[in-house]
């Protein structure tokens, strides 16, 4: 579903991504695990088309991001590290605004109701986003990613800043979404990717340093790489 080949991103002399390659099969939940500055957000921003690569290629669903950027964008729902929420809008106003912005063509009321049921935000639908808990805000962020029913979800540190109960709820929501979506999520925390993902890519200093199942990683990570993720 996703093919990344030789992806490199330079900021002046700083190499944020150093020739990384990986593919993600349809229907899997893949974790991107690494410390601050490893290159997780850079990779996600390039796959979603918000950032251009210095070199290398990305294709999603057979569409190359450079040749068919709008086709790729249609296939991906993105939750950035800082979700694009407008705190002075109600959840209803915001999701309707994003529905229009993304030019979704599915029946509006039915589609919004299905998303709200799925991410469980019905009880806050009429409330101001600025008054919501972080857990609910993150659910609203995931709701906007689901607009238009994209088959791929890219979630950048979806549980960061949440309390333990909210973390478990968001992890369960992601596992549930994984039944019908291909998902890449990034995290600093090994137990998080163990709880949610079928496969984990460990990234450090712009390079993929390990790739395997969560269980194999917890046994086989080298001591150097163990130190870079919170165990
Ligand atoms: P975090 O967990 O802190 O979000 P990350 O793994 O997502 O980290 P990136 O944000 O992708 O890491 O950053 C990768 C590298 O690229 C870092 O060295 C970072 O300082 C650098 N970088 C990112 N954005 C820019 C930018 N706009 N200009 C210069 N350097 C940047």
Please state the ipTM of this predicted complex. Answer: 0.95
What is the Å distance from ligand 1's center to 156 Cα? 13
The whole-number pLDDT of residue 28 equals 95
Q: What is the CA radius of gyration of the chain?
A: 17
The fraction of the chain above a pLDDT of 90, given in percent, is 78
The atom of ligand 1 lying closest to the CA of 34 is 6
The C-alpha angle with vertex 180 and arms to 136 and 143, in degrees rounded to 5, equals 25
The atom of ligand 1 lying closest to the CA of 9 is 16
Q: Whose alpha carbon is nearest atom 3 of ligand 1?
A: 36
The C-alpha angle with vertex 83 and arms to 200 and 110, in degrees rounded to 5, equals 95
The atom of ligand 1 lying closest to the CA of 188 is 2
Q: Is the pLDDT of residue 227 over 80?
A: no
Q: How far apart are CA 112 and CA 115, in angstroms?
A: 5
The atom of ligand 1 lying closest to the CA of 44 is 11
The whole-number pLDDT of residue 228 equals 57
The tokens of 147 are what?
């607009």
Q: Whose alpha carbon is nearest atom 18 of ligand 1?
A: 37
95-110 pLDDT, tens digit per residue, is 999 999 999 999 999 9
Q: How far apart are CA 120 and CA 138, in angstroms?
A: 11
The whole-number pLDDT of residue 219 equals 66
| Mean per-residue pLDDT, 187-213 | 91
The whole-number pLDDT of residue 162 equals 92
Q: What per-residue string of b and e applies to 178-191 under the rule 16 or more CB within 10 Å gives b?
A: beebbbbbbbbbbe
Q: Is the pLDDT of residue 87 over 70?
A: yes
User: Which residues surround ligand 1 with Cβ inside 6 Å?
Assistant: 11, 14, 16, 34, 36-42, 81
Sequence-distant (≥ 6) Cβ neighbours of residue 141 within 8 angstroms: 79, 83, 84, 85, 158
What is the Å distance from ligand 1's center to 100 Cα? 31
Contact status, residue 174 vs residue 158, Cβ threshold 8 Å? yes
135-153 pLDDT, tens digit per residue, is 999 999 999 999 999 999 9
What band does 231 get if pLDDT is binned at 50, 70 and 90?
very low
């Amino acid at each position: 579903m996703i093919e990344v080949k030789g992806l490199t991103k330079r900021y002046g002399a700083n190499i944020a991504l150093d020739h990384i390659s990986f593919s993600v099969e349809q229907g899997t939940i893949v974790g991107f695990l690494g410390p601050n500055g490893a290159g997780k957000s850079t990779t996600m921003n390039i796959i979603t088309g918000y950032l251009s690569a210095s070199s290398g290629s990305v294709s999603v669903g057979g569409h190359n991001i450079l040749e068919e950027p709008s086709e790729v964008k249609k296939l991906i729902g993105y939750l950035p590290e800082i979700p694009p929420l407008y705190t002075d809008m109600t959840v209803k106003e915001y999701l309707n605004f994003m529905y229009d912005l993304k030019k979704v063509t599915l029946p509006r009321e039915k589609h919004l109701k299905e998303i709200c049921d799925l991410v469980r935000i019905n009880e806050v639908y009429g409330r101001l986003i600025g008054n919501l808990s972080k857990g609910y805000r993150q659910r609203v962020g995931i709701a906007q990613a689901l607009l238009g029913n994209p088959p791929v979800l890219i979630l950048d540190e979806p549980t960061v800043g949440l309390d333990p109960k909210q973390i478990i709820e968001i992890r369960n929501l992601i596992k549930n979404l994984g039944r019908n979506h291909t998902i890449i999520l990034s995290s600093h925390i090994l137990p998080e990717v163990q709880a949610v993902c079928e496969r984990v890519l460990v990234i450090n200093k712009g390079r993929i340093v390990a790739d395997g199942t969560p269980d194999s990683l917890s046994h086989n990570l080298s001591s150097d790489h163990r130190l870079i993720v919170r165990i």
